[in-house]
Amino acid sequence: MSVAQSPPPRLQMRGITKRFPGVIANDKIDLDVKAGEIHALLGENGAGKTTLMNVLFGLARPDEGEILIDGNPVQIADPADAIARGIGMVHQHFMLIPVLTVAENILLGAETMANPIFLDRSEARRRIIELGKRFGFELDPDAKVETLSVGWQQRVEILKALYRQARILVLDEPTATLTPQETVEVFAVIRRLAAEGHSIIFISHKLYEVLEIADRITVIRRGQVVGSRLPSETNEDDLAALMVGRQVKLAVDRGTSHPAEPVLTVENLKVKSDRGQEVVRGVNFSVRAGEILGIAGVAGNGQDELVEAITGLRRSTEGVVRLAGEDITGWTVRQRREHGLGYVPGDRQKYGLVLGFPISDNLVLTQYYKSPFARGIQKQDAAIEQWAQRTIEEFDIRTPSWAVPAGTLSGGNQQKVIVAREFSRDLKALVLDQPTRGLDVGSIEFIHKQAIGKRDAGTGILLVSAELDEILELSDRIAVMYRGEIVAVVDGRTANKEEIGLLMATGGRAPAKESPTGTSSQPGADPDTIRGGTS
């Protein structure tokens, strides 16, 4: 054997093929990641990224192909195997137990024992602090996870992998729930990890982030690798075209808006959360016909409760909601809908659809009792089918038939069903809550276009989104929500991203040193309660 010029890549996946009934999720995928490299994996939902990572982490068996670590072929049967071989996974949805401390969470499944019965807590604590120091973030091992912000919880996840001596780290959409500032901090951590020789697989659909952090970018489409790029030789448009397979317009042309009279007005609105805490604390704003008002804010600052109070899903404790001048505060959901309020809910599977029902029934879920869909109490299936067929065509919902259950559709098409249902009637005001969460570029483009169209038709739109880019792209005005209050309203066309990010994170005040109260109503929502400290 001759000595190779350069060491083999840390990780090589060769010809990975994974078939599911009816689809090939991974079709001969090759991927290699060097030591110290940040390798971005880019692709639309359903392109096969998750399957590939599941294969790597032992959650799925490939039908063909092999995995090599440091040049040696390995068999990964289950996650325990993967961890033993130095593979660590940080999921998009954290796998942490909120009521346990940082140290306890890290120790779960990788207990450091003093003897066969008792944990060696002090040794564990020492190692956690040491690891944190090495990578530039010091965490208090005794802080309860529920008191940490989302950004810090993510660092706990990373630490968890490092504690298990991971050398290959998979980060699945690590910035999805972070503010721009937190993203910058997490990027610093990721760079430091790479500098220490760790290999990072960075999964994302945010093109500019990938361009910023990756050393190399591999794009997957329909289970195949369609291209590999260096950030220096590509740009967002090129990557988007690779991902989708056609040229996409990333930013919709929002044109000019012509705001008229206020259609949706909220006056001194106060709403309590399920836990009885006041999470909307005297909010005032008004959406005018023909404009889009965006509400920016880190998730958990009262946006959900605000939207629910406006749409009638939750009672407000104080204040008034007006729709086209009428006080609708005490109205039922149906009364509000009949009066011209549309609503695309944030959680499409929980609120928006009955997954087991056919698409046709979902398309009339809010209007099934009205003519022509019903005569008396008799459902008129022929009319429903006819309308469904027309709507499916009009909104380009990709489905073999109106009769298939909504649950069998892709996320983008599920959202299109909801959008079709809400947009296809005359509305005075429309609430869009996270309208494109988790969707692919093509579907986002479609939904944004529809929203602009509805705005131009004279509907007042309230857009709530955790994606600051979406807010910036669509809104005519932007209101920033922080801890249940609107802390600023700015012009959407001149708004500065960093400025809004800062407002989202601090509410425009200097960050406090200590948490003001012992218990936070929105764990993770306020960065002030970080006990770890950045030093």
Where on the chain is the footprint of another protein (CB under 8 A)?
21, 311, 313, 332-334, 337, 343, 345, 350-357, 361, 365-366, 368-369, 374, 377-379, 381, 403, 405, 407-408
Complex with another protein: residue 317 or 335, whichever CB lies closer: 335
User: 3-class DSSP state for residue 390?
Assistant: helix
In whole angstroms, the minimum distance from the beta carbon of 356 to another protein comes to 2
**Least gap, CB of 450 to another protein (angstroms):** 20
State how beta strands 460-465 and 429-433 pair. Answer: parallel
Question: What minimum distance in Å lies between the beta carbon of 219 and another protein?
Answer: 30
Pairing of strands 87-90, 168-172: parallel
Nearer to another protein, 353 or 505 (CB): 353
If the CB atoms of residues 284 and 366 are measured against another protein, the closer one turns out to be: 366
Residues 283, 274 contacting (CB under 8 angstroms): no
Cβ–Cβ under 8 Å, residues 246 and 272: no
Nearer to another protein, 22 or 116 (CB): 22
CB of 431: closest distance to another protein in angstroms? Answer: 11
Q: Closest distance between another protein and the C-beta of residue 333, in Å?
A: 5
The residues that bridge with 464 in the sheet, in sequence order, are: 295, 433
Q: Which is nearer to another protein, 250 or 374 (CB)?
A: 374
When the beta carbons of 179 and 311 are compared against another protein, the nearer one is 311
Nearest distance from C-beta of residue 276 to another protein, angstroms? 14
CB of 59 to another protein, least distance (A): 18
- The minimum distance between CB 309 and another protein, in angstroms, equals 14
CA distances in angstroms from 413 to 146, 204, 389, listed in the order given: 35, 20, 15
C-alpha span between 210 and 484 (Å, rounded): 32
Residue spans of alpha helices (H) in 95-251: 102-107, 121-134, 150-163, 180-195, 207-213, 236-244
Of 210 and 309, nearer to another protein (C-beta) is 309
Q: Are 452 and 474 in contact (CB under 8 A)?
A: yes
**DSSP 8-state secondary structure symbol assigned to residue 460:** E
Strands 341-344 and 326-327: unpaired
Nearer to another protein, 254 or 336 (CB): 336
Ramachandran bin of 101, using left for φ above 0, alpha for ψ from -120 to 50, beta for the remaining angles: beta
| Closest CB to another protein among residues 351, 485 | 351
The C-alpha atoms of residue 282 and residue 15 are separated, in whole angstroms, by 57
Least distance from C-beta 407 to another protein, angstroms?
3
Pick between residue 198 and residue 348 the one whose CB is nearest to another protein: 348
d(CA 445, CA 338): 29
Pairwise CA distance, residues 141 & 125, whole Å: 6
8 Å CB contact between 141 and 69: no
Contacts of 18-27 with CB under 8 Å at 24 or more apart are 18/48, 18/51, 18/52, 18/55, 18/60, 18/61, 18/62, 18/63, 19/63, 23/223, 24/223, 25/51, 25/223, 26/51, 26/52, 26/55, 26/62, 26/65, 26/223, 27/222, 27/223, 27/224
Q: Which of 363, 369, 434, 366 is nearest to 401 (CA)?
A: 363
Nearest distance from residue 479's CB to another protein, in Å? 24
